């Protein structure tokens, strides 16, 4: 059965009415994966048997009239950086090629509690470092809209899986844009929640002061459902905040009266593709027609965000990735002379070029004599970036911008040019540095048929507002109803 394009809400309705069973839905998506993933290569592994077993169990519970979770029977694809007990979690790295976690991440526990079906593990840039999924040690994921283009990264597999109709939703992680940029490239909805909104327990750490887990879906309501399921305090992540989780899915259809939208003048400068700019301007007109007020704001320090981010994230990565020493778990070199040689060979063999580049940059930035000049300075500018937002949000409710300066670039186009690749993150990185939430949703297509993403950023814990504001736009447009042409499952 083809379920392509069905939204999570539509599937839930059909499940509740008894028109569809969890097994039929799961089998439908497994068929879609079988038909399409040979080309898209979004999945690193597919949990066929386990998913069908889980779905069968959910159906029998429903038939007996026993309680089922809020996502009962809906498949979720999970980025291969989030630990699931008994499921290989590789971070797309040779270092963790055979790593099977003995425990579930908090978000996986939450998904199991809500009876979501864990359908498979998605490809990514190694240890979430990259913007194209080309840094995976195993395969290059293709953009479902044009297979010679990148799906974005680092959660490219999760975005492509939803865009290609191989899962109604998925999880990714966003340290500097890794949910939002691929959502924009693939024409799906993606949310980076506020720092502290979702527990990172069981998320393999890249840069701990920036990392957040968030949802992808093919409409705003689906993203609301999934965020609601995973958000909330978890004592195992001390940075997760003890604040009630709003009923995002129940309120998402309520439009916001008197919405004040900020447009940052620094966001519309050289380097922004004209078609992307035109799509954002057209989206602002849609909001104006809906009664919103659009005002100019200023984020004067945003021009430093890429420089600050690549010092902070590399510094934290150099520390976090020190654990891959060949002793505790993961890859270990087969032959070595002594302990130091074992560390060097293990890390030399296990890590790819981009991960090595970050570890070297970060170690340098943190070393005695350079720490003050680089790391400490970056933290000070980070603070100024946050203050810019605080100031802007005194007069507006959300800030609208592109998600990336261009639509999806070609596979191979930027991979040998790290600086251009890093500049891809210009619109997304500041929210991570400031700890703020952002949502990206489809806002049109380029003349060559590639999706264009619109980003809405808000103050801390304003996810409900972002979802409602995003939904106002979505209801007026049909971009999210368009799907790439791929073999049907």
Between the CA of residue 21 and those of 26, 62, 77, 319, what are the distances in Å? 9, 9, 19, 47
DSSP label at residue 304: G
Interface with ligand GLN (CB under 6 A), residue from 37, 80, 174, 316: 174
Quick one: which segment of 33-41, 61-69, 173-181, 389-397 binds ligand GLN (CB under 6 A)?
173-181
Q: Please, what is the minimum distance in Å from the beta carbon of residue 358 to ligand GLN? A: 8
Percent helix / strand / coil, the chain, rounded to 5: 45, 15, 45
Q: Which is nearer to ligand GLN, 47 or 178 (CB)?
A: 178
Give yes or no for residue 80 binding ligand GLN (CB under 6 A).
Answer: no
DSSP label at residue 256: P
Is-contact 320 207, C-beta < 8 A?
Answer: yes
Give the Cβ contact number of residue 66 at 10 Å: 9
Catalytic residue among 158, 167, 170, 178: 178
Range 332-351, binding ligand GLN (CB under 6 A): none
Q: Please, what is the minimum distance in Å from the beta carbon of residue 180 to ligand GLN? A: 9
Is 315 noted as a catalytic residue in this protein?
no
Is 154 noted as a catalytic residue in this protein?
yes
* Six token digits for residue 160: 């492509």
Catalytic residue among 79, 131, 170, 305: 79
Instruction: Compute the distance between CA of residue 27 and CA of residue 119 in angstroms, rounded to an integer.
Output: 10
Q: Which is nearer to ligand GLN, 210 or 225 (CB)?
A: 210
Interface with ligand GLN (CB under 6 A), residue from 26, 90, 133, 154: 154
Range 295-314, binding ligand GLN (CB under 6 A): 313
Encoded one letter per residue, x for contact with ligand GLN by CB under 6 A and - for no contact, window 190-229 reads ----------------x-----------------------
Contacts of 24 (CB under 8 A, 6+ apart): 1
Task: List 76's β-bridge partners, or say none.
Answer: 118, 169
Question: 3-state DSSP call for residue 395?
Answer: coil
Catalytic residue among 93, 154, 173, 318: 154
Q: Please, what is the minimum distance in Å from the beta carbon of residue 442 to ligand GLN? A: 20
Q: Please, what is the minimum distance in Å from the beta carbon of residue 437 to ligand GLN? A: 14
Give yes or no for residue 177 binding ligand GLN (CB under 6 A).
Answer: yes
Between the CA of residue 467 and those of 70, 255, 401, 474, what are the distances in Å? 19, 10, 15, 10
Range 9-48, binding ligand GLN (CB under 6 A): none
Quick one: which segment of 114-122, 169-177, 279-287, 288-296 binds ligand GLN (CB under 6 A)?
169-177
Q: Please, what is the minimum distance in Å from the beta carbon of residue 173 to ligand GLN? A: 6
Residue nearest to ligand GLN (CB): 178
Number of residues that bind ligand GLN (CB under 6 A): 14
Q: Please, what is the minimum distance in Å from the beta carbon of residue 411 to ligand GLN? A: 16
Q: Please, what is the minimum distance in Å from the beta carbon of residue 350 to ligand GLN? A: 19
Q: Which is nearer to ligand GLN, 120 or 156 (CB)?
A: 156
Task: List 122's β-bridge partners, or say none.
Answer: 43, 79
Give yes or no for residue 175 binding ligand GLN (CB under 6 A).
Answer: yes
Between the CA of residue 131 and those of 42, 67, 83, 125, 183, what are the distances in Å? 15, 41, 22, 7, 12
Q: Which is nearer to ligand GLN, 175 or 401 (CB)?
A: 175
What is the signed CA dihedral for 411, 452, 205, 333, rounded to 10 degrees?
A: -10
DSSP string, 68-128: --TTTT-EEEEETTB-BTTB---TT-GGGTT---SS--HHHHHHHHTT-EEEEEE--SGGG
Is-contact 183 159, C-beta < 8 A?
Answer: yes
Encoded one letter per residue, x for contact with ligand GLN by CB under 6 A and - for no contact, window 397-426 reads ----------------------------x-
Is 356 noted as a catalytic residue in this protein?
no
Range 118-137, binding ligand GLN (CB under 6 A): 128-131
Give yes or no for residue 315 binding ligand GLN (CB under 6 A).
Answer: no
Edge-first strand order for the sheet with 75-79 is: 43-46, 117-122, 75-79, 169-174, 212-217, 189-192, 438-445, 451-457, 398-402, 260-264, 293-297
Give yes or no for residue 455 binding ligand GLN (CB under 6 A).
Answer: no
Give yes or no for residue 178 binding ligand GLN (CB under 6 A).
Answer: yes
Q: Which residues are catalytic?
A: 79, 154, 178
Interacting residue ranges for ligand GLN, rule: CB under 6 A:
128-131, 154, 173-178, 206, 313, 425
């Amino acid at each position: 059965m083809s379920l392509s394009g069905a939204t999570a809400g539509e599937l839930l309705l059909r499940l509740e009415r008894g028109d569809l069973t969890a097994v039929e839905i799961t089998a439908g998506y497994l068929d879609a994966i079988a038909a399409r993933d040979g080309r898209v290569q979004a999945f690193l592994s597919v949990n066929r048997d386990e998913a069908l077993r889980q779905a069968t169990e959910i159906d029998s519970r429903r038939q007996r009239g026993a309680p089922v979770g809020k996502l009962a029977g809906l498949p979720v694809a999970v980025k291969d950086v989030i630990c699931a007990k008994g499921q290989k979690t590789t971070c797309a790295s040779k270092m963790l090629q055979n790593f099977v976690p003995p425990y579930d991440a908090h978000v996986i526990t939450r998904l199991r509690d809500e009876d979501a079906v864990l359908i498979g593990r998605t490809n990514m840039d190694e240890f979430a470092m990259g913007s194209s999924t080309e840094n995976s040690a195993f395969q290059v994921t293709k953009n479902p809209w044009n297979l010679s283009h990148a799906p974005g990264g680092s959660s490219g597999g999760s975005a492509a899986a939803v865009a290609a109709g191989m899962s109604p939703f998925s999880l990714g992680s966003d340290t500097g844009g890794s949910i939002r940029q691929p959502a924009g490239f693939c024409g799906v909805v993606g949310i980076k929640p506020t720092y502290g909104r979702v527990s990172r327990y069981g998320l393999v750490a890249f840069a701990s002061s920036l990392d957040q887990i968030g949802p992808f879906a093919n409409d705003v309501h689906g993203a609301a459902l999934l965020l609601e399921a995973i958000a909330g305090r978890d004592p195992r992540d001390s940075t997760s905040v003890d604040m009630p989780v709003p009923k995002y899915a129940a309120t998402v259809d309520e439009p916001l009266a008197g919405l004040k939208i900020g447009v940052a003048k620094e966001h519309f400068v050289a380097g922004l593709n004209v078609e992307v700019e035109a799509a954002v301007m057209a989206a602002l007109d849609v909001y104006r027609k809906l009664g919103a007020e659009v005002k100019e704001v200023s984020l004067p320090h945003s021009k430093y965000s890429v420089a600050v981010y690549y010092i902070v994230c590399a510094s934290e990565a150099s520390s976090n990735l020190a654990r891959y020493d060949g002793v505790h778990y993961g890859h270990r070199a087969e032959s070595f002379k002594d302990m130091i040689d074992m560390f060097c060979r293990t890390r030399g063999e296990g890590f790819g070029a981009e991960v090595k580049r970050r570890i070297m940059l970060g170690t340098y930035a943190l070393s005695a004599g350079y720490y003050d000049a680089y790391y400490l300075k970056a933290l000070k500018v980070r603070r100024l970036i946050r203050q810019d937002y605080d100031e802007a949000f005194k007069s507006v409710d959300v800030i609208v911008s592109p998600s990336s300066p261009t639509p999806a670039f070609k596979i191979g186009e930027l991979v040998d040019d790290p600086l251009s690749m890093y500049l891809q993150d210009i619109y997304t990185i500041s929210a991570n540095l400031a700890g703020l939430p952002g949502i990206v949703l489809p806002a049109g297509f380029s003349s060559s048929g590639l999706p264009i993403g619109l980003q809405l950023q808000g103050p801390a814990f304003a996810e409900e507002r972002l979802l409602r504001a995003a939904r106002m736009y979505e209801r007026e447009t049909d971009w999210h109803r368009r799907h790439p042409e791929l073999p049907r499952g």
